[in-house]
Amino acid sequence: MCGITGWVAFDRDLTAEPGDRAVLDAMTATQLCRGPDAGGAVLEPHAAIGHRRLAVIDVEGGTQPMRVERDGRLLAALTYSGEVYNHRELRAELEAAGHRFRTRSDTEVVLHAYLEWGEGLAERLNGMFALAVWDARREELLLVRDRMGVKPLHYHRTPDGVVFGSEPKALFAHPAVRPVVDPDGLRELLGYTRTPGLTPYRGIHEVRPGHVVRVRREGVSVRRYWALEAREHRDGLANTVATVRALLDDIVHRQLDADVPLCSLLSGGLDSSAVTALAARALRAAGAGPLRSFSVDFTGQGEFHGSEVRETPDGPFARLLARHAGTDHSVIELDAAELADPARRSAALRARDLPGGVGDMDVSLLLLFRGVRRHSTVALSGESADELFGGYGWFHDPRTVAAEDFPWATGLTRIAGAGSGPREQLLDAELLRKLDLEGYRRARYREAIAEVPHLDAADPTERRMREISYLNLTRFLCILLDRKDRMSMANGLEVRVPYCDHRLVQYVFNTPWAMKSFDGREKSLLRAAVRDVLPAAVADRAKSPYPVTTDPHYSARLRAELGRLAAARTSPALDLLDGRRLADALAPDTDPRSVRLGLDLALDLDAWLTEYRVTLEL
């Protein structure tokens, strides 16, 4: 896992001016957290390529950017972030074709795969990756992103090429790119949606998941190499359960490949417990030591009181699974003062390059990963099982399923904390009317629905549930994957997501909803596939979302900080807030917990506009 960046300029010689090397160094330096172990650069007449490395496989040999030369002339240079889990099979295939390798790294396999198959390498890679290849022979740049969008990759077109990087902050270090946000950008930021290929910043695009972008003198072209497809599911229930289990066994085994300490993130829920149990068992079978596992908890919570969203606390279930699987388990404890600390909020903002997280989730995840990184470099996560297997309540609520809207539009507020109010509650009323967030979201919803692949013979229920699954996998999961990547890589921690293996995703996407919910519960198929490796209490536990603090001091600290900013009248965020609503939120007789999400967003906006010097063109 690493940070990549650079640019191509076909109308200039980048080796002629020393300032271009300084720009490349500045862009690369923004990715230091993503790659704390080493850095490098390649500067060619029309291409500047930078890299920061987090060493995971072949620590000594996998330095980047990696080059291939012939007779002293550059053929191609690669800067690459991520992991390719089938690199050993690809290496054998490439060796049979005559390629010779100097290292054990998957980076060298990716580079030689490009030399052998060109942009066709994308279809052959199994993993999470974002990569850029400069082909000096053809003078063209290739940008490739993994199928599910686990690893980020952004680009900005210029008059004579593109600027690219893992994160927007790398692009902002280039003089041609500035942080500008217009009304559509603000709608993307606030609308509880994520449109593939877009970002809130004007002119900055994501390489869409499952796509390659080719940059030549003649211009920029985009090709899709993978997408969810509608396929008839021919397996019965028993064979379907067995296939899911076989895939999970293979996926988890592949994702244990690392030359550095590896652990598992364990909440005690079904998803993370399954990954942890399978990983622990695979390590034991290989004669390796016990798997380390980590969970998060909050101090100052008091006695736990169950709710509609969270029926049970995570701690007892995480400890039960850890004992059952034989992991070396630790709990990372966080407190309200640290979660509300403006310095921590700024750190989370810099990691994400954007405001707009839900409640304290960004900061708590950042701090959790900081604690995990003290012990491990790689972590396995249960992310994406809910989207894939139907774990969220909105999959099972008939009104939400029938609504012509993204099903999570209201669910996220409930997850972040009952009674905490809508996130946009403190924003200026006239601004909200202009943005029409609901109208924007519904338009994006219709675009997404038009993409869904269907089987001709599907009944109405199966057809609608295929649509709900597609929306979750292509419009919601990307929000969570981006959050997890940014918060983990800000700490130099690589988080792997076994449930995002494209083989599993394609298979389960085409499994009928009747099988995914065959026992009348959420994630029936996953539960059946892994029940034998879990304690019954863990296997039967109801879905419980990522925890948020319930300490009342957290909301009080948020209000105090926003009150300080409002009194100083210097915050650029005040122009986006409604004066009356702000005054009501800051009034002593208002319970700060009732406006918690609004307080969070207002403080996020202040930090973002201040630190990034964003130009708002509204």
The strand pairing partners of 66, in sequence order, are 78
CA–CA distance, 76 with 318 (Å, rounded to integer): 47
Please write down the HEC assignment for all residues of 511-571. Answer: CCHHHHCCCCCCCHHHHHHHHHHCCHHHHCCCCCCCCCCCCHHHHHHHHHHHHHHHHHCCC
Q: Which residues of 102-137 are buried (b: 16+ CB within 10 A; e: fewer)?
A: eebbbbbbbbbbbbbeebebbebbbbbbbbbbbbbe
Give me the DSSP letters along 142-209: EEEE-TT--S--EEEEETTEEEEESSHHHHHTSTT---EE-HHHHHHHHSS---TT--SSTTEEEPPT
Largest CA distance in the chain: 77
Distances (CA, A) of 310 to 2, 351, 386, 395, 517: 35, 28, 15, 17, 20
* Annotation says 33 is catalytic: no
Question: And the tokens for 302?
Answer: 């008091």
CA–CA distance, 538 with 542 (Å, rounded to integer): 9
How many degrees, rounded to 5, is the angle at CA 550 between CA 544 and CA 552?
A: 170
> The dihedral of CA 409, 348, 275, 543: what is its sign?
negative
Q: What is the rounded (10 degree) CA torsion for 431, 433, 438, 443? A: -90
The residue annotated as part of the active site, out of 2, 33, 478, 500, is 2
Q: How many CB atoms lie within 10 A of CB 371?
A: 17
Contacts of 121 (CB under 8 A, 6+ apart): 110, 113, 114, 144
CA–CA distance, 315 with 114 (Å, rounded to integer): 46
How many degrees, rounded to 5, is the angle at CA 504 between CA 500 and CA 510?
A: 115
Could you tell me if 361 and 548 are in contact, meaning their C-beta atoms sit under 8 angstroms apart?
A: yes
Could you tell me if 50 and 24 are in contact, meaning their C-beta atoms sit under 8 angstroms apart?
A: yes
Q: List residues with catalytic annotation.
A: 2
